Amino acid sequence: MGSGFKCFCDKCGYSFDAMFGIGMMGFMVREKETKKMRAGKYGEQGKRFFMEHPDGSVTTNYVVVKCTSCGEFHNVYDFDLQIPEPKMEKSKQNLKEALDRGDPEACKLPKEHVERILNRTYYVTKEKYEHKCKKCGGKAEIVENFENLVQAGKIDCPRCENRLSTSDYILWD
Ligand SMILES: [Zn+2]
Ligand SMILES: [Zn+2]
């Protein structure tokens, strides 16, 4: 379950909807976005990453990024570029090979246990995605803890000096 709300400036009218967390269908979103990243829809960095790591994946947790040139906020996926944990993959490979050559120890393991190990992949972050501003193309950086900061009235409006307010809590899955 994720959550979100409207962020707005009551002085100049600037506003945007921000969502946080990851939906119930998170694994499907992850699969879809991994395909798009692989196809180069999010730029050269992602395309290159998947050429180097064909078994890679991307994270799809919602974050807010702030442009370092124009100051604009964007609610986007964090897109950590990940690879299957190498040691884990090595052990899976060893187990597969042991089973293939009929190793007595490996063959003694319960079937469900073996399947659980072989079907499970742990991903670790290899590279951070370099976010770009959708408005001006400038470098955009993740604002850590934005959800709490904006609710505590600690985020400035990018258009004027005012602090941003929040309202209309939305829950989504
Ligand atoms: Zn403002
Ligand atoms: Zn910008």
Mean pLDDT in each 10-residue stretch from start to end of the chain (173 residues)? 88 94 80 97 97 96 96 96 97 95 93 93 97 97 96 95 88 67
The pLDDT of residue 23 is 64
CA of 156 to the centre of ligand 1 (A): 8
The pLDDT of residue 2 is 72
The pLDDT of residue 173 is 63
For residue 10, the ligand closest to its alpha carbon is: 1
The pLDDT of residue 3 is 82
CA of 97 to the centre of ligand 2 (A): 51
CA of 10 to the centre of ligand 1 (A): 7
With a CB cutoff of 8 Å and minimum separation 6, the contacts of 34 are 56, 57, 58
For residue 164, the ligand closest to its alpha carbon is: 1
CA of 12 to the centre of ligand 1 (A): 4
Residue 45 φ then ψ, to 5°: -55, -50
The pLDDT of residue 96 is 95
The pLDDT of residue 1 is 62
The pLDDT of residue 46 is 97
Give the closest residue to 107 by CA, choosing from 98, 116, 115.
Answer: 98
The pLDDT of residue 161 is 82
CA of 104 to the centre of ligand 2 (A): 61
The pLDDT of residue 172 is 66
pTM: 0.86
> Do the beta carbons of residue 99 and residue 106 sit within 8 Å?
yes
CA of 170 to the centre of ligand 1 (A): 22
Q: Ligand 1 is a single-atom ion; what residues have CB below 5 A from it? A: 9, 11-12, 14, 157, 159-160, 162
CA of 70 to the centre of ligand 1 (A): 14
Strand pairing report for 81-84 and 123-127: antiparallel
